[in-house]
């Protein structure tokens, strides 16, 4: 195509530039933004991010303040008891939060540490209110308790004769003889037991606190009884007759056997691990089921323990022992709590509990897992691995594995 350049105007030159270079007109093109537009877009994005960040900060600040100083006025009065063994910032924080005094235990602990990292709280009873600020709660704590409390703790697994001196040693002015006289002569009703039943099994483990000016045997033992009754009722002891075919008292005896069974291997369970803690609870409930099944079938329990223990009455249920326990008239010749006695195997349930069971054993005795197991054996003590079976054949195989594992363990000890 021939074009005369002189006949093309300036505007035509722009419009027909494609013609000059021998190409067709192209509709698509790229728009190049100016630098001013790019800067505006950056500032706009920064502005949006800043606004969002500000909103988050405002909400975070409001939430943080609410953990330190909740909205609204303090609520009703609340008695808070701090025990001797739980007066650290972390323990106090949990106690206050669980009672609704402060909204958040973690923030109380952090704020209390920030305010005074060396704070020491006295055990006792504090008059506080719900919905308090952390600073208000700290002010009450700094003033000290209303009355200095007498506190003591009872471990599980102690027989009665060991529990009473343990209590007396922790309560000023209280003598072991006073506790012995009370449990021997008091007509106080014990749950699920016949009148005059032994206190064996009823010494509920846990921490106790008293604010009375004078603490005597009556006050202490009634509180021990009440705590046991509350725990057992919560575990369903009042309804075991219909569910399990045994009385509430027989269930308590089973709980004491369970506690002794697991006691030797309790340390092998890492109860800080949720899975291990559940395994301990399940193992106890399975062993409980074995005991209930054998009792229902009229079979010997054949439960034995390496640990010594005591029964208040002549242990007619005991079928074997390495030491002579009974005199010719059937009375106890030795204290079964003594270190010279054991192991012992039970044919049927003992007439009384053999120890004061733990919370876990109390619960497991009244709430066994469903199953048809009739046997159990500890296959691997190092791992607290029990094997449960419903047939003698399966049990004998498990016994062989347990024996082999024990031999390997002994060889390892010799090799070391």
- Does residue 406 sit in the same domain as residue 265? yes
- Does residue 119 sit in the same domain as residue 165? no
Q: Is 69 part of a structural domain of the chain?
A: no
Q: Is 54 part of a structural domain of the chain?
A: no
- Does residue 182 sit in the same domain as residue 264? no
- Does residue 389 sit in the same domain as residue 277? yes
Which parts of the chain sit beneath pLDDT 70?
Answer: 1-34, 37-38, 58-79, 81-87, 116-120, 147-149, 212-213, 264, 304-347, 381-382, 406-416
- Does residue 202 sit in the same domain as residue 257? no
Of the candidates 123, 142, 161, which is a domain's last residue? Answer: 142
Q: Is 271 part of a structural domain of the chain?
A: yes
Q: HSE-up of 403 (CA within 13 Å, CB side)?
A: 6
DSSP state of 352: S
Tell me what pLDDT residue 331 has.
Answer: 45
Looking at the 3D structure of the chain, how many domains does it have? 3
Q: Is 265 part of a structural domain of the chain?
A: yes
Of the candidates 208, 234, 260, which is a domain's last residue? Answer: 234
**How far apart (Å, rounded) are the C-alpha atoms in residues 237 and 363?**
9
Q: Is 401 part of a structural domain of the chain?
A: yes
- Does residue 340 sit in the same domain as residue 258? yes
Residues 6+ apart with CB under 8 A from 73: 131
Tell if the pTM clears 0.75, that is, is over it. no
Q: How far apart, in Å, are the Cα atoms of 92 and each of 29, 74, 144, 288, 389? A: 72, 19, 13, 36, 46
Q: Is 369 part of a structural domain of the chain?
A: yes
Of the candidates 142, 167, 184, which is a domain's last residue? Answer: 142
Tell me what pLDDT residue 271 has.
Answer: 73
- C-alpha torsion sign, points 150, 153, 158, 159: positive
- Does residue 132 sit in the same domain as residue 221? no
Q: How far apart, in Å, are the Cα atoms of 112 and each of 30, 108, 141, 142, 388? A: 63, 6, 11, 11, 50
- Does residue 112 sit in the same domain as residue 190? no
221 with 181: CB under 8 angstroms? no
b or e along 54-70 (b: 16 or more beta carbons within 10 Å of the residue's beta carbon)?
A: eeeeeeeeeeeeebbbb
- Does residue 210 sit in the same domain as residue 291? no
Domain residue limits at 259: 243-415
Residues 6+ apart with CB under 8 A from 201: 252, 253, 255, 256, 352, 353, 355, 356, 357
- Does residue 165 sit in the same domain as residue 290? no
Tell me what pLDDT residue 316 has.
Answer: 39
């Amino acid at each position: 195509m021939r074009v005369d350049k002189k006949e093309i105007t300036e505007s035509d030159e722009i419009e027909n530039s494609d013609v000059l270079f021998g190409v067709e007109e192209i509709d698509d093109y790229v728009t190049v933004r100016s630098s001013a537009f790019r800067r505006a877009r950056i500032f706009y994005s920064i502005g949006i991010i800043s606004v969002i960040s500000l909103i988050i900060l405002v909400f975070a600040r409001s939430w943080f303040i609410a953990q330190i100083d909740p909205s609204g006025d303090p609520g009703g009065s609340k008695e808070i008891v701090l025990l001797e063994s739980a007066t650290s910032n972390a323990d106090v924080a949990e106690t206050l939060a669980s009672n609704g005094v402060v909204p958040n235990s973690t923030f109380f602990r952090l704020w209390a540490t920030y305010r005074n990292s060396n704070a020491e709280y006295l055990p006792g009873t504090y008059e506080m209110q719900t919905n308090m600020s952390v600073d208000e709660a700290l002010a009450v704590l700094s003033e000290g308790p209303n009355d200095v409390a007498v506190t003591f703790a009872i471990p599980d697994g102690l027989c009665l004769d060991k529990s009473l001196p343990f209590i007396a040693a922790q309560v000023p002015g209280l003598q072991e003889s006073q506790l012995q006289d009370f449990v021997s002569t008091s007509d106080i009703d014990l749950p699920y037991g016949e009148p005059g039943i032994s206190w064996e099994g009823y010494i509920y483990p846990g921490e106790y606190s008293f604010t009375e000016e004078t603490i005597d045997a009556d006050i202490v033992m009634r509180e021990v009884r009440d705590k046991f009754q509350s725990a057992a009722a919560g575990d369903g002891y009042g309804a075991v007759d219909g569910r399990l075919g045994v009385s509430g008292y027989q269930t308590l005896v089973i709980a004491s056997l369970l506690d002794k069974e697991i006691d030797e291997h309790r340390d092998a369970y890492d109860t800080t691990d949720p899975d291990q803690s559940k395994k301990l609870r399940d193992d106890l409930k399975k062993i409980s089921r074995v005991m209930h099944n054998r009792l229902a079938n009229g079979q010997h329990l054949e439960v034995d323990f390496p640990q010594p223990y005591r029964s208040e009455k002549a242990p007619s249920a005991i079928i074997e022992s390495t030491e002579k326990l009974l005199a010719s008239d059937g009375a106890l010749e030795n204290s079964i709590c003594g270190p010279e006695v054991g192991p012992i195997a039970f044919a049927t349930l003992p007439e009384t509990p053999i120890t004061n069971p733990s919370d876990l054993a109390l619960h497991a005795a009244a709430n066994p897992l469903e199953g048809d197991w009739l046997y159990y054996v500890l296959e691997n003590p190092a791992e607290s691995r029990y094997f449960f079976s419903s047939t003698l054949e399966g049990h004998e195989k498990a016994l062989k594995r347990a024996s082999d594992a024990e031999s390997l363990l002994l060889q390892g000890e010799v090799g070391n």
